[in-house]
Structure 1
Amino acid sequence: MAGGWAKDGAEQAQIDDTVNDALARVRADIPEGESLEHCEECDEVIPEARRRAVPGVRLCVSCQTEQDEQSAAASPYNRRGSKDSQLR
């Protein structure tokens, strides 16, 4: 049983669209260009190893971790998959 914009029997199309949207969001967050030597947020030095490992890095590990936690908390998707969680 499909819902939303899809016809009956089109569950896989909904799943594919959800996955493709998530991939597009993640790809948009991938840093590009030259890495910074100092964090954009706290001005701490970004270690050389991190700059080489993540080309285009703009945040130190601490600030990146905090940003990732905030992004995960604001996810618009129901990842639990239970009907009860959808009713909340």
Structure 2
Amino acid sequence: MADEADNAATQTDRATEAAVAAARARVAAGPAAYECDECGDEINPKRREAVPGVRLCFECASDAEYRSRMR
């Protein structure tokens, strides 16, 4: 029977795999956007440089991440 540490490791592995898949999808989507897909505000140039294929501004990305955690 799996203990709590094994369960936590499995959850961490799944979360990591999901994050990597999401990052690959962003990169495959093409170049970074200059305007946020959600709110239309300009995406900070440093964010565009740091996050390949970024489509959301920091605020909208933070909101989306929060919503996904609450599911």
Q: Which runs of 5+ in 1 are unaligned?
A: 3-9, 75-88
Aligned match of 1:55:
52
TM-score normalised over the length of structure 1: 0.62
Q: Hey, what's the Cα distance between the residues in 1 that align with 2:64 and 2:49?
A: 21
Aligned match of 2:21:
28
Task: Report the aligned-residue RMSD.
Answer: 1.8
Higher relative contact order structure (alpha carbons within 8 Å, sequence separation ≥ 6): 2
Higher Rg = 1
- How many residue pairs get aligned? The number is 66
Q: Hey, what's the Cα distance between the residues in 1 that align with 2:7 and 2:69?
A: 22
Q: Hey, what's the Cα distance between the residues in 1 that align with 2:8 and 2:65?
A: 24
TM-score normalised over the length of structure 2: 0.74
